[in-house]
Amino acid sequence: MIRKGDESTKNVTTAGPVLQSRQKTDLGITPGQQIVASGTGAMITTLLVTPLDVVKIRLQAQVKPIGSGHCFLYCNGLMDHVCTCINGGSVSKQWYNRGGHFNGVLDAFLKISRTEGILKLWSGLSPTLVMAVPATVLYYTAYDQLKYSMGYKYETSSSLIPVAAGGIARVFAVSVINPLELVRTKMQSRPLTFKEIVGCIRTAVQDGGVLSLWRGWGPTVLRDAPFACIMWFNFEILKARLMKAFHLEEVTFPVSFASAAIAGVIAAFFTNPFDVVKTHRQIELGEMDALKDAKRNPASTFLIIRRIYARSGMNGLYAGFIPRLGRVVPACAIMIGSYEFGKSFFQRYNEQHQR
């Protein structure tokens, strides 16, 4: 005979395995909790990765200062942005052209922190967050929602589900956020009020039509969608295999971190030619804007590919691969590791409150 006390104890002890099993067949958290998890991961990633790129830019500018009207690549760990060196007499006072005698990466970290203040390691970050954080939240939330709506189940579903969900989610995020590139460019020189932001968008539409807000969309999608497909395909496989190898019932931070780092390397290798093309295209568009050269038509994506291949062959299309790995791998590992940790936290929280 089972007493009431024994029955309640049995229910408590069996709740955990039941919910762990359920978490392998659905997401187990709300969209709001996903947004918090992805947003927190985005901020952690930018805080950890941005100083590496700021130091890189300062070291490059020490050798060759960035000329007025010229562009440079800035990475905050979430997105790559092409920034334009501001015209005028204050060019040398901008953070990317500020003087300094650095003897390597570590020396630059120490000297910038001591002489200019530690916050200077995050120079230029604020304008880029206008695009990067919303894009990341949209992307990760849409990916998981799509993955489970397609019937994804742990270890039993087709590997093509993460491919499809990753590609669609990335195209969706890029399409929604791309118009904010105009706002980000304007905010590079000074903060904008909401009224000024609306005015910038209205002027751009009047001058170039509605489609001008999605200028540069093609090269971005050409790189980001294949990267997302390849990365999520490998990440889900690696995560499942590591969990099985270590007999884990739920995802841990080390498993997510390692899986994302390896998946990032693989995806970066296969999509590097598209990254080279995207960077060329972004710099061309940025310098056209800086020089007010609206009459010149930017080169098409395939024309840029032909030019690079004709000049340098495949080596040209894989230019900058090692530095890109230095940005992509830690960013993928930190972002996905933090996001998966956040999801696990909310899954445990929901489990406790459902008992």
Q: Which amino acid is at 25?
A: T
The pLDDT tens digits for 142-200 are 999 999 999 888 777 788 999 999 999 999 999 999 888 777 766 665 666 778 778 87
pLDDT at residue 232, as a whole number: 97
Left (φ > 0), alpha (ψ -120 to 50) or beta: where does 80 sit? beta
Residues 300-319, mean pLDDT to the nearest whole number? 84
**Of 120, 119, 129, 117, which is closest to residue 94 (Cα–Cα)?**
120
The pLDDT assigned to 213 comes to: 83
Per-chain mean pLDDT for the chain? 82
Assign 16 a pLDDT band (cuts: 50, 70, 90). Answer: very low
| Residue range 208-229: mean pLDDT, rounded | 87
pLDDT band at 18 (very low <50, low <70, confident <90, very high): very low
pLDDT of residue 31: 92
What's the pLDDT at 1?
43
Task: Tell me the HSE value of 242 on the side-chain side, using a 13 A CA sphere.
Answer: 18
Residue 75 near residue 327, CB atoms below 8 Å: yes
Among 10-14, 26-30, 123-127, the minimum mean pLDDT is found in 10-14
Whether 100 shows a pLDDT value over 70: the answer reads yes
State yes or no: pLDDT of 93 exceeds 80: no
Percent of the chain at pLDDT above 70?
Answer: 82
Task: Indicate if the pLDDT at residue 8 is higher than 50.
Answer: no
**What mean pLDDT comes out for the span 233-253?**
93
pTM for the structure as a whole = 0.82
- Tell me the mean pLDDT in the region 250-254: 92
Q: How far is CA 285 from CA 37, 43, 278, 289, in A?
A: 34, 28, 11, 6
| 276-307 per-position pLDDT tens digit | 888 777 777 666 665 555 555 666 777 888 88
**The pLDDT of residue 225:** 96
Overall average pLDDT of the 202-230 stretch: 86
Predicted local distance difference test score (pLDDT) of residue 154:
74
The secondary structure of the chain, three-state, reads CCCHHHHHHHHHHHHHHHHHHHHCCCCCCCHHHHHHHHHHHHHHHHHHHHHHHHHHHHHHHHHCCCCCCCEEEEECCCCEEEEECCCCCCHHHCHHHCCCCCCCHHHHHHHHHHHHCHHHHHCCHHHHHHHHHHHHHHHHHHHHHHHHHCCCCCCCCCCHHHHHHHHHHHHHHHHHHCCHHHHHHHHCCCCCCHHHHHHHHHHHHHHHCHHHHHCCHHHHHHHHHHHHHHHHHHHHHHHHHHHHHCCCCCCCHHHHHHHHHHHHHHHHHHHHHHHHHHHHHHHHHHHHHHCCCCCCCCCCHHHHHHHHHHHHHHHHHCCCHHHHHHHHHHHHHHHHHHHHHHHHHHHHHHHHHHC
Most confident of the following: 14-18, 82-86, 193-197, 311-315 = 311-315
Q: Looking at per-residue confidence, does 276 or 335 come out higher?
A: 335
Mean pLDDT across 125-134: 86
> Poorest-confidence range of 10-19, 94-103, 134-143, 233-242?
10-19
**pLDDT number for residue 186:** 66
pLDDT of residue 127: 80
Distance of CA 319 to the CA centre of its chain: 21
Residue (of 16, 341, 29, 79) closest to 227 by Cα position = 79
User: Does residue 90 surpass a pLDDT of 90?
Assistant: no
Better pLDDT: 281 or 110: 110
